[in-house]
Structure 1
Amino acid sequence: MDYRNAAKEVLENIGGAGNIVSAAHCATRLRLVIADNEKCRKEALEEVEGVKGVFEASGQIQIIFGTGTVNKVFEEFVSLAGIKAGTKEEVKQAAASKQNLFLRAIKTLGDIFVPIIPAIVASGLLMGLLEGLSNIWPSLADSGTYQIFHLFSNTAFVFLPVLIAVSAAKAFGGNLFLGAVIGMIMIHPDLLNAWSVAGLSAAEIPRATAWFGLFDINLVGYQGHVIPVIIAVWLMCMLEKWLHKIVPEIIDLFVTPLVTVLVTGYLTLTIIGPIFSTVENWVLAGARTLIGLPFGIGGLIIGALYAVTVVAGVHHMYNAIEAGLLSATNLNTWMPIATAANVGQGAAALALALKTKNKKTKAMALPASLSAFLGITEPAIFGVNIRYMKPFIAGCIGGACGGLVAGLFGVGATAYGITGLFGFLITTQFLGTYALVIAVSAAVAFILSWIMYKEVPAETDRVMSGQAEESESSGAAGAGPGSGEPAGGTEAEPAVWCPIEGEVIELSGVKDETFAGEVLGKGIAVIPKEGKVLAPFDGTVDTVFDTKHAIGMTSDRGVELLIHVGINTVELNGVPYKAHVADGDTVKKGQLLLEFDIQAIREAGYDITTPVVVTNTDDFQEVEAVKTGEVHPGEEVLRVW
């Protein structure tokens, strides 16, 4: 491959060196931020030698070359462009700053609400289970055990402002503990509990004079509120950063926290809280009005558009709406509609999987469909439905019909962060109607996708042609590629053993379209239980990436393998990793290659799922996954022939 020519063509097709804002590379792809995306010719980039795929994500143009190739192309690229290689963090920051204000705000909401989902899920599941058990055994509600567990079930919602404040402080780069203080101020026991106000007259609500008698404020807490907390903590973080710059270091420890809490707290209770709690009430009222439109029309609209917002990457804003609905009404009526949309995409992918004759498409669509039924739609949407579009449209229509049912019956949940089949655990008051939502959405999407999806003739022809060639060559003497037998004899070579202790899943279940779509090749993925990567065969280490999150190697029998520990973990800059081998090392099966800190990676907000991919898949007749589920190092997981 001519790496310099490939780099030259990439440079030409992104608008030249003058259009580059920042550039870096990871284990498999160039990550570019360009000033004007209109100058990027995606179709031409896909035709560049060595390019396996091109897509835009998080403000970056990502050009997939694969392991061992991307770093060589990148060296030529920065040389031709006359630019300095950026770090992964610099590229990430450049991409974020290039996004418009709305998209940045949506991303920030996701950064704030996604980390606290486990707390909300724990409380919501417990609340749902208690309600379900109380319906079966009414006397349970009078027991001491029920009272104790009920206390557990609503704790996350009672102290929601504190959880949000800590997460927001982390997202905005402020001190987490000062953020917690601001959250605590907003629900301090000296303030009247917000949930107690409904039964009081205006005269019964305590008030205080603010801003030297300029106006009075109600001394009411902000239990259940979301937007005022985020705005308050954002202000706190900006103020804290500014003070760190101007306050002399010798007194910074005392002055900065004092002034930050004093100023932010007073502004929060006197201005930010009263104003933005009103704004939030308007937003929630609008959401409830939309969901409550007559004849379920609101559910139909939301169900139809939900998957579209997932594609646009703006669906994280719904976390704020769901949290607000839960706090205001103890019922999340948005979640069942989201379930309808997710199940619709899953059923559409299932129809395609059952109808297609293309083995690769079928192998990708089936597990992606199951994933969507369990609430994770990215593999189905990006890996299958969007690629063929008609299944995506069918899924949206199915989501609309299911959303209509949800809106008609007012189905609700006791938490957010869970959809699909697992949603039965948090919809115990509406089990029958929730099941109806799923059934209607799935049936409509499946039927429409089956009718609308037509196999591309070229795909069917290739499949039939391949079968014919295999049939003809099976009568030939000797074994070899295309003969129906492995190139090395009558049995497939057990080429790849599991390199990590953990759970093996289908590659299509990985939350990264490059791996899930098998752009880099076939393989499996491991959800690690132990932070060690062992050599999966005898061979040579081709590349240990500078961030140590990925290793490329080649077996003695020519299998080229990429082990990529975590998704997007290139952004961690190697901190939780320790390499025990170097480029060019010869290794034996079972030898320690890499160690990584599972907990640190997860706490940083990254998915630890580890793809194990045969990057030269096209050199072989078949790459077959032979085992899923719990697997120990040394057990065979891939067979190549």
Structure 2
Amino acid sequence: MKYEQLAKDIIENVGGKENVNSVFHCITRLRFKLKDESKAQTEVLKNMDGVVTVMKSGGQYQVVIGNHVPDVYNAVVEIGGFNAERPVDTDDVEGGKKQNLLNSFIDLISGIFTPILGVLAAAGMIKGFNALFLSFGWLGEASGTYQLLNAAGDALFYSLPIFLGYTASKKFGMKPFVGMAIGAALVYPALSGLTEGEPLYTLFAGTVFESPVFITFLGIPVILMSYASSVVPIILATYFGSKVEKGLNKIIPDVVKTFLVPFFTLLIVVPITFLVIGPVATWASQLIGQGSIWLINLSPIVAGIFLGALWQVLVIFGLHWGIIPIALNNIMTLGEDPILSLIFAATFAQIGAVLAVLLKTKQQKLKTLSIPAFISGVFGVTEPAIYGITLPLKKPFIISCIAAGIGGAILGAFKTKGYIMGGLGIFGFPSFIHPKEGITVGLWGAVIAVIIAFILAFVLTYLFGLRKDHQAAEPSSEKAAATTVQKENAVKIENEIIVSPLNGEVKALADVKDSAFASGALGKGVAIEPSEGKLTAPVSGTVTALFPTNHAIGLTSDNGAEILIHIGMDTVQLDGKYFTGRVEQGSKVEKGQLLIEFDMEQIKKAGFPVTTPVIVTNSDQYKDTAITKAPEVKNGEQLLSLEK
């Protein structure tokens, strides 16, 4: 497909290219850093063909695309003229304010690991399959085939500080090749040979930090450690290096900056990394790894329930990035990790629920969405399933979380552990093969957990997960809401009296500052300037459309009138803030029943008018629509009269 038009629409609705600080992408989503998120048209983006949903997390405005996000990203970068290599400073402001600590941490980790996530998974898959071939006896450790495959899979992990030196440098705004040089120094092969023989002396003898000293630097003891596959030391070293480089750029003349800035940066950062940053970071990593193992060993079953059930929620909010480095650190320092293994069944619980929706629903659009979501989920990419299917339907998402928690408990009971950062979905199984013992009970635990989680999610969703009146996709604009209302009823049209849903001043629809309403394109009606933040039912009938932000609602009366009420103008941008729904979509309501409460003063302070149109979207089916002549109305007083 060509994605030029989609890219243009995305750029326009995130507030234009002038509103974009930076953009990059992960496996399924575009991650924007916007100057002003309030300028982005979130609901419009959510309703676009080609966009799954929109999320705001970690200081990022995330437009979820799906598996073809690299192609869309390339089109966005080209059309917007963005610099794909531009570093993102962790102190970037959001809405004029610095990010909080959690958002900054998530933004930092995702920015460093996202660029190498694909190749990291690919290398892990090669290592996993190689271990599988060795376990089955298809290859021997001495064979050339095994050695070459092992090199292809292991080289990235051994040289991980070099790769992270590059990505972390871009994140911190340092010259990437300087960061790579720092990483390369950490894994320099000749240093490993210096640890042979008797040490000069030992530091911290008798403690957990006991370290032999084989060399000194200007008389200062150097604690040599293995930094191959390490994570934390290079990130800290690169951060320190970025500060050193920025300082040097201020004092070194432009004519010699090209070589003197990297010269002094390496001269300062590399020794300090070996003397201080590396040892401290390594000790801290080891303590974190041991601590996480200790916590899980207290009750691996409880830990499995907790992590398994919550994993998909963490993914939605981007908080899983805080766990991934700990798991990666465990593998690098301990040779195994029990944390990410506990969430392995979550993917299969998700696709079990999606398969049930696919087979149970009769709605063609939902079926069409379910097929690619299921296929993506099989290979470990669950965002299309979450955002496109299970989360909008609610019950399937909850069921999948329950099934994932049970799968996590099984994984905990079998003490399943991962030994590599391998592939996703079905490609994740080789991660549980022990590099020396081969297939162990942990792998069988993973197989059993996946089967049970998948079947449980499928059965429960098929039996209880779909409501008959639940919409396949939520409306996201006034026009969509009006269309939804029109399609949902087949009631015979009769004369109707519509009472006022609000207390307030009556205004002509033509005075509303929105052309879609003022022109009558959505139907005939009237507007009210409310004096109280309570919206009640103007008729007895059914709630046929309710926005997730609770700023607009559609009803079909028992006599066939289709009514759309939109509280305020552009209030969708508040993303549900200051609105509280008191009914659900599909609910039967009585005239005068409370539908929505809203904080008028806070909405006005946010810069949005509260003028509320009340529209009869099927007014063309009536001979006449009479509007009250009273300048003000109260809840329950006649507002409109519809004549068949």
TM-score under structure 2 length normalisation: 0.56
Equivalent runs, 1:226-241 vs 2, <5 Å: 226-241=231-246
- Calculate the aligned-residue CA RMSD, in Å: 4.7
Q: 1:96 to 1:353 in 2, by over 3 A?
A: farther
Residue 6 of structure 1 corresponds to none
TM-score under structure 1 length normalisation: 0.56
Q: What is the CA-CA distance between 1:112 and the residue it aligns to? A: 1.8
2:394 aligned partner, one-letter code: M
CA distance in 2, matches of 1:134, 1:345: 32
CA distance in 1, matches of 2:189, 2:263: 21
Residue 159 of structure 1 corresponds to 159
Deviating above 6 A after TM superposition, structure 1's stretches of 4 or more consecutive aligned residues are 23-26, 34-37, 39-43, 45-48, 60-64, 86-90, 92-95, 193-197, 465-469
CA distance in 2, matches of 1:47, 1:251: 50
Q: 1:132 to 1:40 in 2, by over 3 A?
A: closer
Residue 383 of structure 1 corresponds to 388
Which of structures 1 and 2 has the bigger CA Rg?
2
Equivalent runs, 1:418-497 vs 2, <5 Å: 418-428=423-433, 429=439, 431-457=443-469, 459=471
1:381 aligned partner, one-letter code: I
Contact 2:296/2:338 (CA < 8 Å) preserved in 1? yes
Residue 129 of structure 2 corresponds to 129
CA distance in 1, matches of 2:471, 2:373: 20
Q: 1:162 to 1:405 in 2, by over 3 A?
A: same
Q: What is the CA-CA distance between 1:409 and the residue it aligns to? A: 1.7
Query: Equivalent of 2:229, from 224, 231, 250?
Result: 224
CA distance in 1, matches of 2:63, 2:114: 28
Residue 180 of structure 2 corresponds to 180
Contact 1:24/1:88 (CA < 8 Å) preserved in 2? no
Tell me, yes or no, if structure 1 residue 351 matches structure 2 residue 356: yes
1:247 aligned partner, one-letter code: I
CA distance in 2, matches of 1:103, 1:422: 31
Greater Cα shift, 412-421 or 106-115: 412-421
Residue 369 of structure 1 corresponds to 374
Q: What is the CA-CA distance between 1:443 and the residue it aligns to? A: 1.9
Residue 242 of structure 1 corresponds to 247
Greater Cα shift, 373-382 or 136-145: 136-145
Aligned partner of residue 316 in structure 1, secondary structure: helix
CA distance in 2, matches of 1:47, 1:368: 17
Task: List per-residue Cα deviations over 1:559-605 (Å, max 9, x = no partner).
Answer: xxxxxxxxxxxxxxxxxxxxxxxxxxxxxxxxxxxxxxxxxxxxxxx
Q: 1:255 to 1:146 in 2, by over 3 A?
A: same
Tell me, yes or no, if structure 1 residue 298 matches structure 2 residue 294: no
Task: List per-residue Cα deviations over 1:202-242 (Å, max 9, x = no partner).
Answer: 598225557876xx442223233211110111111232233
1:180 aligned partner, one-letter code: M
Q: 1:96 to 1:355 in 2, by over 3 A?
A: farther
Equivalent runs, 1:533-612 vs 2, <5 Å: none
Residue 93 of structure 2 corresponds to 97
Contact 1:349/1:385 (CA < 8 Å) preserved in 2? yes
Contact 2:22/2:34 (CA < 8 Å) preserved in 1? no
Q: 1:279 to 1:253 in 2, by over 3 A?
A: same
Contact 1:350/1:369 (CA < 8 Å) preserved in 2? yes
Identity of aligned pairs, percent?
27
1:126 aligned partner, one-letter code: I
Q: 1:207 to 1:383 in 2, by over 3 A?
A: same
Query: Equivalent of 1:263, from 243, 265, 268?
Result: 268
Contact 1:117/1:416 (CA < 8 Å) preserved in 2? no
CA distance in 2, matches of 1:120, 1:36: 32
Aligned partner of residue 457 in structure 1, secondary structure: coil
Q: What is the CA-CA distance between 1:25 and the residue it aligns to? A: 13
Task: List per-residue Cα deviations over 1:248-297 (Å, max 9, x = no partner).
Answer: 11221232111101111122122212222222222222332344343522
Contact 2:90/2:104 (CA < 8 Å) preserved in 1? no
Q: 1:149 to 1:421 in 2, by over 3 A?
A: closer
Q: What is the CA-CA distance between 1:143 and the residue it aligns to? A: 3.4
CA distance in 2, matches of 1:466, 1:279: 60
Q: How many residues align?
A: 421
Task: List per-residue Cα deviations over 1:362-413 (Å, max 9, x = no partner).
Answer: 2212321232222001111111122122211111111111111222223234
Residue 56 of structure 2 corresponds to 57
Task: List per-residue Cα deviations over 1:513-566 (Å, max 9, x = no partner).
Answer: xxxxxxxxxxxxxxxxxxxxxxxxxxxxxxxxxxxxxxxxxxxxxxxxxxxxxx
Q: 1:47 to 1:362 in 2, by over 3 A?
A: closer
Equivalent runs, 1:67-78 vs 2, <5 Å: none
Contact 1:164/1:226 (CA < 8 Å) preserved in 2? yes
Greater Cα shift, 314-323 or 93-102: 93-102
CA distance in 2, matches of 1:342, 1:194: 46
Residue 411 of structure 1 corresponds to 416
Tell me, yes or no, if structure 1 residue 143 matches structure 2 residue 146: no
- Structure 2 unaligned segments of length 5 or more: list them: 1-13, 24-29, 65-79, 434-438, 473-482, 491-644
Contact 2:134/2:140 (CA < 8 Å) preserved in 1? yes
Contact 2:245/2:265 (CA < 8 Å) preserved in 1? yes
Aligned partner of residue 150 in structure 1, secondary structure: helix
Contact 2:414/2:445 (CA < 8 Å) preserved in 1? yes
CA distance in 1, matches of 2:165, 2:177: 9
Tell me, yes or no, if structure 1 residue 109 matches structure 2 residue 109: yes
Equivalent runs, 1:304-343 vs 2, <5 Å: 304-343=309-348
Q: What is the CA-CA distance between 1:298 and the residue it aligns to? A: 1.6
Residue 486 of structure 1 corresponds to none
Tell me, yes or no, if structure 1 residue 205 matches structure 2 residue 212: yes
Query: Equivalent of 1:399, from 401, 404, 425?
Result: 404
Aligned partner of residue 174 in structure 1, secondary structure: coil
Contact 1:340/1:402 (CA < 8 Å) preserved in 2? yes
Task: List per-residue Cα deviations over 1:476-498 (Å, max 9, x = no partner).
Answer: xxxxxxxxxxxxxxxxxxxxxxx
Contact 1:336/1:411 (CA < 8 Å) preserved in 2? yes
Q: 1:196 to 1:302 in 2, by over 3 A?
A: farther
Tell me, yes or no, if structure 1 residue 251 matches structure 2 residue 256: yes
CA distance in 2, matches of 1:192, 1:432: 38
CA distance in 2, matches of 1:392, 1:161: 38
Contact 1:353/1:366 (CA < 8 Å) preserved in 2? yes
Aligned partner of residue 392 in structure 1, secondary structure: helix
Residue 564 of structure 1 corresponds to none
CA distance in 2, matches of 1:419, 1:251: 47
